[in-house]
Amino acid sequence: MIRRDSFTFAVAVISLALLDGPAAQAGSQTLDKIRETGKITFGYREASIPFAYLGTDQKPTGLSLDLCSAVAAKIRVALRRPELGIDYVPVNASNRIPLLQNGAIDVECGSTTNTAERQKQVSFSVATYVASPRWLVSAASGVTEPKGLDGQTVVITQGSLNFAVAKKVLDDQKLNVTFVQAKDHAESLLMLGTGRAAAWFEDDILIAGLVANASDPRAFRMLAATYAPSYYGLMTRREDPEFKALVDAAIREKMASGEFGKLYAKWFEAPIPPKGQNLQLPMSEAMMARVASPSDALAP
């Protein structure tokens, strides 16, 4: 009896060990695709500083790309394929979800907000950033609060979740505002800078990144008003929970080791390319909480 129990225990231990390794993702459609093609395909944004954008060498860079590199390392170990290459595909707010769903990309390495509505289409990793949308106006503008936008034009990046947030904010105050849409964040800032819009509404960190690298960062300022926090994550296909678990594991390891904190400091508290601007944005308490207890939950 003692021998039988010992054997059963040994089998259980071995089984658990296997579940912690490559076998844990044996049913992953995404890993099967990567194994067959011999490459990992990451989608990235071209102007979402400092998460994903084109650096001085015109290659994708940013915090999300660094995290996706950790994911790639995890995939190579899981598949026992150290030679797997990486392809990078540019995406935008409008096509990022369709390109993920149709298999054109395996992970979206950008600055996408995790929402209940989007979870019906895709999956999100544990939170990689906690953001809050704010208004950006011209420094020379007399606007100090949202009600000052009455009768003016504001710009929203096409496909941005913040369109609904901005509309509700202005509707609640019964303000008469005209909305225009830009193709990406860079064009939104351009429209504000050239006077074609009186304000731009977007997540604070994305605004800070674009402004820090503008020709004259002092030409813009954020309004003090902040809104409900949102949580960024790397996107994966909804029907592949095994692959999401692998992506989560790669990020959790970075957070547990302290490496995530170093990456955060690299992108938010030190000079970054292409112009060497420092965003000077220390980690918030909300972000610290997610690093201490990684989660993909939509509430604090």
Give the mean pLDDT of the chain: 90
Total tally of structural domains belonging to the chain: 2
| 24 and 93, same domain (yes or no) | yes
**Side chain identity at 246, as an amino acid letter?**
L
Task: Point out the least confidently predicted range of 205-209, 247-251, 253-257.
Answer: 205-209
Domain check: are 190 and 83 in the same one? no
Residue 275 has pLDDT above 90, yes or no: no
Q: Percentage of the chain with pLDDT > 70?
A: 91
For the ranges 117-121, 136-140, 166-170, 208-212, the lowest mean pLDDT is seen at 208-212
For residue 16, the model assigns a pLDDT of 35
The candidate with the shortest Cα–Cα distance to 237, out of 81, 121, 73, is: 121
Residues 6+ apart with CB under 8 A from 15: none
Cβ 67 vs Cβ 126: under 8 Å? no
pLDDT at 11: 37
Q: 199: Cβ–Cβ under 8 A, 6 or more apart, which residues?
A: 135, 136, 137, 141, 143, 149, 152, 154, 155, 192, 223
Which stretches does DSSP call E strand in the chain?
A: 39-44, 47-48, 52-54, 60-61, 85-90, 107-113, 122-124, 129-131, 133-138, 153-157, 178-182, 199-203, 220-222, 230-237, 271-272, 277-278
In this structure, are residues 68 and 251 in contact, taking their beta carbons and an 8 Å threshold?
Answer: no
- pLDDT for 274: 85
Same domain, 242 and 286: yes
DSSP state at residue 270? S
Q: How confident is the model at residue 182 (pLDDT cuts 50, 70, 90)?
A: very high
Q: Are 120 and 236 contained in the same domain?
A: yes
Give the per-residue pLDDT at 284. 87
In the block, which residue shows the tokens 């731009």?
A: 200
CA dihedral 150, 151, 153, 154 (to 10 degrees): 10
Domain enclosing residue 209, as ranges = 133-222
Q: What is the DSSP string of 198-213?
A: SEEEEEHHHHHHHHHT
Query: How confident is the model over 259-265, as a mean pLDDT?
Result: 98
Alpha helix ranges (H) inside 258-284? 259-268
**Structure confidence at residue 10 (pLDDT):** 41
Residue 17 within any structural domain of the chain: yes
Nearest partner of 138 among 69, 193, 185, judged by Cα:
193
Half-sphere exposure of 71 (CA within 13 A, CB side): 31
| Tens digit of each residue's pLDDT (9 = 90 or more) over 106-124 | 999 999 999 999 999 999 9
Q: Is 35 found in the same domain as 143?
A: no
125 with 248, same domain: the answer is yes
> pLDDT at position 161, please?
86
Could you tell me the CATH number of the domain that includes residue 23? Answer: 3.40.190.10
- 245/122 same-domain check: yes
pLDDT digits (tens, 9 = 90+) for 60-99: 999 999 999 999 999 999 999 999 999 999 999 999 999 9
Check residue 20 and give its pLDDT.
Answer: 44
pLDDT at 237 over 60: yes
Task: Output the pLDDT for position 26.
Answer: 56
pLDDT tens, position by position, 142-155: 999 999 999 999 99
Q: What is the mean pLDDT of residues 178-205?
A: 96
Q: Provide mean pLDDT across the span 269-276.
A: 90
> Domain check: are 16 and 59 in the same one?
yes
Band the pLDDT of 285: cuts 50, 70, 90.
confident
Q: Do 145 and 43 share a domain, yes or no?
A: no
**Would residue 34 count as lying in a domain?**
yes
Domain boundary residue among 200, 222, 244? 222
